[in-house]
Chains A and B, each alone.
Chain A
Amino acid sequence: MAATDVLKPDHAGSRKHFIFTDEHQQLRESIHNFVVKELRPHAEEWEETTFPNWVFPRMGELGFLGLTYPEEYGGQGGDYYCALVLAEEMTNANCGGLGMGIAVHTDMATPPIHLFGTEQQKQDYLVPAIKGAKIACLGITEPDAGSDVAAIKTRARKDGDEYVINGSKTYITNGHRADFIVLVTKTDDAAGYDGFTLFIVDMDLPGVIREKKLQKMGMHASDTALLAFDDVRVPESAVLGQVGKGFYHIMWELQGERMIGAAGAVAAAQNVFDRTLQYAQERHAFGRPISKFQVTRFKFAEMATKIETARQMVYTTAWRFANGEYPVREISMAKLYASRIACEVADECIQIHGGAGYMKEYNVERVWRDLRLNRIGAGTDEVMLEVIGKSYGL
């Protein structure tokens, strides 16, 4: 074996990671084909208009909205890693807002119904959600309560055999298009963390007001809503999970949300990295491809290392999650690290593109804008650091 053999290119994509099987690979390919053929061509357009609702029934038809759910509810019965594959492959749509809209539906709003819901709730909401016939959103954040979930003010007051809900929710992904919301409310002011309850609320009930479509820095293909709830009356059967256990339920949900967010961030970073690598080999300056400059090469080496490191954090943490651990610390670390490196990579890719990177045409500046959300959503970097630090007793 010569030195050149030892140093031969290997992008690791040819060999499976220990968490994946051939089935995952097949799933990856089929999602990839669908995304590239049916979604990516519309990315520019949807950036202006937000993505259309038909994406949900189409993905439902293909089975992509229920990958991890049991077959009895119309799901595919896949393991947790299938959710990672979906999150990763959706980034190939080059449309961050689209990926987010789907992820909120599949991995944020519906998992609590599957885990904590009654059989009736699963039939009424999970089954149509998996089909893409009903679109889901998740209501946690409020104008005065973001990362500080315990500060939420939306109240659900018991009135006979009904609950009356008042309050507002903001930054709600899918909020305008959703058919139902999984809503975090306070049902007992005096009970502290034991005073929260989840509800499933139909968005067409009287008193549910979709106030405004929020304008954002990025994720333009996604609709983000400010919602108001004005004396919305729901039956007791709308309670999701246990009364008083909503805080714990939603903390559990957030773990999955952070995992999926981290997986998506890594894949998005890989995507923009790949495109930039190609650009650097084609773009000439000072008489050679810019990839031939040592500093450019070093930038790619550093970025590739960060991306692979983040990916391994996500995969190994997902393995713990899937094996029944509740690895809050590792999930927080993976989310923190992946979000940060994704932003760094996107920024460096703009730099390598130069002026072209600043233009819309190359779709690098969009990635840069879209990814910035990852350091804020599902718990900010600072919240992750709090969680990690406190896990060590500090």
Chain B
Amino acid sequence: MVPTSDSGGDPAKCPRPHPGAPGFVDGLPQPPFTERHEALRREIRAFVEAELRPHADEWEAARWFPNTVFEQLAARGWLGLKYGPDADWVADAVFAEELARSASGGLAAGVGAHTSIATPPIAKFGTPSQQERWLAPAIRGEKIGALAITEPDAGSDVAGARTRGVRVDGGWLVNGAKTFITNGVRADFYVTAVRTRDEPGHGSLSFLVIEKGEGVAATKLEKLGWHASDTGEIAFADVFVPGEHLLGEEGRGFYLIMANFQWERLLMALGAIGSMRAGLERAIPRLAGRGQAARHAIAELATTATASAAITHHALRRFLDGGDAVREVTMAKLATQRASFDLHDRLLSLLGPDAELERAARDSRLGPIGGGTDEIMKEILGRTMGL
């Protein structure tokens, strides 16, 4: 029945995926991951641990991570994993999990916003010349992108966006404001949701790529966490946007948002897994000898992390299938974000002051809010069940 017959049922003689180490992915790589992805994982992990994580405290204090990080990542090809002839979304998923090990939610957010939020719409809906202009330099780490949807009065309710683009000769004149924009200050271009007609609702939303320049002003927001990331409020005052900056079709912006939400939410779930694993790996060795309550606490949290990985990788497989993965992706986001915060909060209680864990707790608190709140996830799931 089960191929452990040569072991005689003796655990000591059975293949052990976990030879006592607190690693989480040392068994056989499970679909959709392959040996090749695990090799990439090791490579990314080594880089993140050596080149990024040591700077986490410094960048946190500076409220900024340097733009050279984009160049370093681009040099290794990691900003374009899911683009081009060798596109591999699974590799990008590995990148998302491992970037969480930078111990800086702000850095992971900034890079993630670039690779997985701002650039996918250009890859998916952009013309070749649009891709040449924004996507190619973004993959090379030369230009930094941001996605600008949320407004001061329209958050999870994206159909309520009011930033207005008025038709003028050769393009649009854009006025309005966007907020909570990751990479908002450092971005070279903003993939921006703009209302290009007067009707309310989502039928008049379009996407324009707005480059930094005259009439575009960004200010940095102070936050609970994600300090290394520049979260911006962007004001557009009579910004002229050329017609060829329209992404996809006019009035089809809502579809673009919805299409991208799935990967964004998946990315957040993947990041939460990486972050939970890293937190546990940091905590476990320090809890040796602390007794049964600590042992059980870790067992509970490790189960949470494993459960999170199970539902997230299921969502990832469904997403890769190419079909409708709304249900699974929504579940993955809902299952992982609060779980990640709770895990880090609990680790803090177990371990006491620890800069990395404290930061992880603050950083992960955004999870149940960003990319659609937990409540929005439940609404979507209710709808998938016909409720």
Q: Which residues of A are at the interface with B, using a C-beta cutoff of 8 A?
A: 1-3, 6-12, 15, 17-18, 68-69, 80, 83, 111-112, 114-116, 241-242, 245, 248-253, 256, 277, 280-281, 291-292, 296-298, 300-302, 304-306, 308-310, 312-313, 316, 319-330, 333, 336-337, 382, 384-394
Instruction: State which of B1, B317, B383 has its C-beta within 8 Å of the C-beta of A7.
Output: B383
Interfacial chain A residues near B324, Cβ < 8 Å: 6, 8, 10
A-B contacts at CB below 8 angstroms, number: 219
**Is there an interface contact between B378 and A7, defined as CB atoms closer than 8 Å?**
no
Q: A115-B1, A277-B387 are in contact. List 9 more A-B contacts (CB 8 A).
A: A111-B2, A114-B1, A281-B386, A300-B385, A301-B377, A312-B313, A326-B14, A326-B15, A336-B303
Measured between C-beta atoms, what is the minimum distance from B161 to chain A in Å?
14
Instruction: State which of A15, A248, A281, A319 has its C-beta within 8 Å of the C-beta of B321.
Output: A15
Complex CA distance for A252 and B3, rounded to whole angstroms: 12
Interfacial chain B residues near A336, Cβ < 8 Å: 303
Complex CA distance for A158 and B334, rounded to whole angstroms: 59
- Of the candidates B31, B284, B381, the one having the most CB atoms from chain A within 10 angstroms of its own CB is B381
Interfacial chain B residues near A304, Cβ < 8 Å: 331, 381, 385
- The answer to whether residues A248 and B254 also contact, given A80-B1, A394-B290 and a CB cut-off of 8 A, is no
Is B296 interfacial (CB 8 A cutoff)? yes
Instruction: State which of B259, B307, B378 has its C-beta within 8 Å of the C-beta of A301.
Output: B378
Is B382 interfacial (CB 8 A cutoff)? yes
List 11 A–B pairs whose Cβ atoms lie within 8 Å, in order of A's numbering. Answer: A7-B380, A112-B9, A313-B307, A313-B310, A320-B30, A325-B16, A326-B16, A333-B306, A386-B299, A391-B18, A393-B288
Q: Which residues of B are at the interface with A, using a C-beta cutoff of 8 A?
A: 1-5, 7-12, 14-18, 20, 22, 27-28, 30-31, 202, 254-255, 258-259, 284, 287-288, 290, 292, 294-296, 298-300, 302-303, 306-308, 310-311, 313-314, 317-318, 321, 323-324, 326-328, 331, 334-335, 375, 377-387
Instruction: State which of A252, A297, A392 has its C-beta within 8 Å of the C-beta of B387.
Output: A297
Interfacial chain B residues near A256, Cβ < 8 Å: 1-2
Interfacial chain B residues near A17, Cβ < 8 Å: 314
Complex CA distance for A333 and B303, rounded to whole angstroms: 5
Complex CA distance for A227 and B303, rounded to whole angstroms: 36
Complex CA distance for A32 and B20, rounded to whole angstroms: 41
- Of the candidates A111, A298, A301, A329, the one having the most CB atoms from chain B within 10 angstroms of its own CB is A301
Complex CA distance for A6 and B294, rounded to whole angstroms: 44
**Is there an interface contact between B9 and A333, defined as CB atoms closer than 8 Å?**
no
Q: Which residue of chain B is the closest to A394 with respect to CB atoms? A: B295
**Is there an interface contact between A83 and B1, defined as CB atoms closer than 8 Å?**
yes
Q: Which residue of chain A is the closest to B16 with respect to CB atoms? A: A326
Instruction: State which of B11, B22, B290, B294 has its C-beta within 8 Å of the C-beta of A251.
Output: B11
**Is there an interface contact between B11 and A328, defined as CB atoms closer than 8 Å?**
yes
Measured between C-beta atoms, what is the minimum distance from B152 to chain A in Å?
23
Interfacial chain A residues near B327, Cβ < 8 Å: 10-12
**Is there an interface contact between A385 and B299, defined as CB atoms closer than 8 Å?**
yes
Instruction: State which of B1, B11, B382 has its C-beta within 8 Å of the C-beta of A111.
Output: B1
Instruction: State which of A80, A245, A310 has its C-beta within 8 Å of the C-beta of B307.
Output: A310
Interfacial chain B residues near A385, Cβ < 8 Å: 295-296, 299-300
Measured between C-beta atoms, what is the minimum distance from A134 to chain B in Å?
18
**Is there an interface contact between B17 and A327, defined as CB atoms closer than 8 Å?**
yes
Complex CA distance for A328 and B254, rounded to whole angstroms: 46
**Is there an interface contact between B5 and A308, defined as CB atoms closer than 8 Å?**
no
Q: Which residue of chain A is the closest to B281 with respect to CB atoms? A: A392
Instruction: State which of B14, B295, B308, B384 has its C-beta within 8 Å of the C-beta of A389.
Output: B295
Complex CA distance for A85 and B295, rounded to whole angstroms: 34
Instruction: State which of B296, B306, B379, B385 has its C-beta within 8 Å of the C-beta of A330.
Output: B306
Q: Which residue of chain A is the closest to B291 with respect to CB atoms? A: A394
Instruction: State which of A10, A69, A302 has its C-beta within 8 Å of the C-beta of B378.
Output: A302
Complex CA distance for A323 and B22, rounded to whole angstroms: 22
Interfacial chain B residues near A390, Cβ < 8 Å: 295
- The answer to whether residues A309 and B310 also contact, given A385-B296, A388-B303, A392-B302 and a CB cut-off of 8 A, is yes
**Is there an interface contact between A9 and B385, defined as CB atoms closer than 8 Å?**
yes
Q: Which residue of chain B is the closest to A302 with respect to CB atoms? A: B378
Measured between C-beta atoms, what is the minimum distance from A161 to chain B in Å?
24
Complex CA distance for A169 and B47, rounded to whole angstroms: 57
Interfacial chain A residues near B387, Cβ < 8 Å: 277, 280-281, 291-292, 296-297, 300
- The answer to whether residues A394 and B1 also contact, given A3-B254, A248-B11, A251-B9 and a CB cut-off of 8 A, is no
State the 3 A-B residue pairs at the shortest beta-carbon distance, nearest first: A252-B9, A389-B295, A326-B14
**Is there an interface contact between B2 and A322, defined as CB atoms closer than 8 Å?**
yes
Measured between C-beta atoms, what is the minimum distance from A15 to chain B in Å?
7
- The answer to whether residues A249 and B9 also contact, given A80-B1, A256-B1, A325-B15 and a CB cut-off of 8 A, is yes
Interfacial chain A residues near B323, Cβ < 8 Å: 10, 15
- The answer to whether residues A392 and B298 also contact, given A277-B385, A305-B311 and a CB cut-off of 8 A, is yes
Interfacial chain A residues near B308, Cβ < 8 Å: 309
- The answer to whether residues A313 and B306 also contact, given A245-B9, A297-B379, A394-B294 and a CB cut-off of 8 A, is yes
**Is there an interface contact between A7 and B326, defined as CB atoms closer than 8 Å?**
yes
Complex CA distance for A302 and B385, rounded to whole angstroms: 12
Complex CA distance for A3 and B303, rounded to whole angstroms: 35
Instruction: State which of A116, A297, A301, A305 has its C-beta within 8 Å of the C-beta of B9.
Output: A116
**Is there an interface contact between A309 and B22, defined as CB atoms closer than 8 Å?**
no
Interfacial chain B residues near A313, Cβ < 8 Å: 306-307, 310
Instruction: State which of A277, A300, A312 has its C-beta within 8 Å of the C-beta of B310.
Output: A312
Complex CA distance for A252 and B377, rounded to whole angstroms: 40
Interfacial chain A residues near B259, Cβ < 8 Å: 6
Complex CA distance for A297 and B306, rounded to whole angstroms: 26
Instruction: State which of B11, B17, B290, B311 has its C-beta within 8 Å of the C-beta of A309.
Output: B311
**Is there an interface contact between A305 and B331, defined as CB atoms closer than 8 Å?**
yes
Complex CA distance for A297 and B386, rounded to whole angstroms: 10
Interfacial chain B residues near A309, Cβ < 8 Å: 307-308, 310-311, 331, 335
Q: Which residue of chain B is the closest to A325 with respect to CB atoms? A: B17
Instruction: State which of B12, B15, B311, B379 has its C-beta within 8 Å of the C-beta of A312.
Output: B311
- The answer to whether residues A389 and B298 also contact, given A18-B31, A300-B385, A324-B15 and a CB cut-off of 8 A, is yes
**Is there an interface contact between B334 and A301, defined as CB atoms closer than 8 Å?**
yes
Interfacial chain A residues near B258, Cβ < 8 Å: 3, 6-7
Complex CA distance for A337 and B287, rounded to whole angstroms: 23
Measured between C-beta atoms, what is the minimum distance from A118 to chain B in Å?
14
